Structure 1
Amino acid sequence: GRTYPRARMSVRFLDGDIERAQLARHTWEAALPATLEHLFNGGDYAQSPLRLSESLEASDYNLRARNARWDLLGPVGPTCIGFEAYGTERDGVFASINDDESKRACGLKHAVDCTVIAIGSNGQWGFETSLVEKTGCVVHTFDCTVDERVRVPGKLAHRVQLHRKCIGKLPEIDRRWALHVPSRPNGSPGRWRDRRWVKWELAPDAFASYAEIVALTGLNAPPTLLKMDIEGHEWGVLEQVLGSSTFKPKQIAMEMHFQTQFPGLSWFGRNKSPAEILQMGHALTNAHYMLVSRVDNHACNHCTEVLYAIPSNASQRARLL
């Protein structure tokens, strides 16, 4: 079985939960070849068998573009102690981009020296407000796309800092476009159906690496939580995070996308393949992360909300009092 490094803040689980989750993961991995064989060769995913003449031009099937594709991240569990949602949360069909800022995390309410890095804000502060009200965490929010008029609300300013930086690099000049949802006349967030293409006017120094962003926070230890809702850019950030030998977050709460509306991303115009999703799930597991929670977005058939956490050794002995 895998071992897990000690963490400054313990992500705690009930006795035996980690071992059961490890066994479920190993069982799932052992059955994966047969699972993929079924998905690609039979069931409701394939058409009728190819005739011999057609087999000369055979090509790979793809899984349907729906949230079930995220099953390739692997089984979910275990649930941590102190599991809680932060930010606005609604069910049903979302009429506004403001409707769901919610992210889930473990044990933040009683965490000591808690620092959260939040990437992507769209000028909305529901997540930060919830953290300030429910925890003692300090929040560093990063977003290079927000309007210059956007400021941290006064009631949050003592624990929330806005950095006008994005992770990554400036896209090529002919790919600097993004979908923009204009605010309503009263200043409230607009409706997704009113979206339009706008040209990105961003300076090269608006972009930074994950290591540079951590340096801006002044942290000398891994962040307690990395929160991301960045419309497909999370794939590149995860590569940098998993490549960090010093500052891997103890928890990662993010919305994952296998489709993007940002032409600046190299994979714009296609879906992330089943193989890419499978590989990312393996990479996170190999970095000692466990998939604590997954909630599919029913208004977006290529989006899912996930929480990954690294258990501490002490958490394997934790008991619910």
Structure 2
Amino acid sequence: MAKVAVLGAGSWGTALSIVLADNNHDVRLWTHREDQAEEINRTHKNARYLKEATIPSSLTAYSDLEKALDDVTAVVLVVPTKAIREVCQKVKQALTRKVTIIHATKGIDPDSLKRVSEMIQEEMPQEQYEDVVVLSGPSHAEEVGLRQPTTVTVSSHTIAEAEVAQDLFINENFRVYTNPDVVGVELGGALKNIIALGAGISDGLGYGDNAKSALITRGLAEIARLGTSMGANPLTFAGLTGVGDLIVTCTSQHSRNWRAGNMLGKGYALDEVLDHMGMVVEGVRTTNAAYKLSKQQQVEMPITEGIEQLLFHGAHPKDVVDQLMTRGRRHEMEDLADILGNQFSS
């Protein structure tokens, strides 16, 4: 049995806490809200974020970070991208021993253009952990909380640390694979949220399955194109954290990014959408980060660029779709060759 602190009591943090508690670990779920911690401990429910799931009574919620981290052997970060640095600074002050660091946050910082693992490494001293482990894959919190079959991937530059995370989480409902490609796993999990916004926009405009299928397929090409330019293994994007996560996020109303895009497609303003959601929509910040990265890496990402124009520059959803549909002619194999790193010749 391990002592594990899960930092972030939103839907995904709560769901992962349930998995860990089901595996008989000593689980401490931290929230910055005292009333939420009291509710979880009293009712074994997280009514705002994961209302259908029952939280095991063995799990304890804390609003005091120092108490939540007391003598733990593993820390699971499940806070929004914009809070990663602040939370890591607090964790650094509270830890009293070396731990396994796992993060399950899918995003990129639009200011520094850093992946989440890079931000953690910048904020926490190396002597406090062996390596950072990334947990990602097609995994709606609502289904994980109900113990429905789910499969994810954990990734670290240090295979032993990835296997520690694998052992912590794996059970008959939650299957965990390992993958050494940290860059690909993180980028796949983050960038698919942009395409999910696009899928929601397409549905909100009233377009059908043909349009959404094209968007998902061409979106995967964009993800892989940027990812491989940054050193990712192209095969990662054919796996759970690539096409797997892309499918589940673009086709389900559980997806907050799809729901946000759907409202945008119906004509709501971004501020209205975010107020209505009541939860972080990581795809919005990630769109801005990916757009900047595409320019930095000199990689063509027309879907990302179109959604950037819609979110931050007032473009109309239909105009964005029209621009994508009237782009210059291309050969599909050119993109496939780019993704695989091969020289294409006609």
Q: What interval of TM-score do these two structures reach, taking the shorter chain for normalisation?
A: 0.3 to 0.5
Of Structure 1 and Structure 2, which has the larger fraction of its residues in helix?
2
TM-score w.r.t. structure 1 length? 0.32
TM-score w.r.t. structure 2 length? 0.30
Q: Which has the bigger relative contact order, CA under 8 A and spacing at least 6?
A: 1
Of Structure 1 and Structure 2, which has the larger fraction of its residues in strand?
1
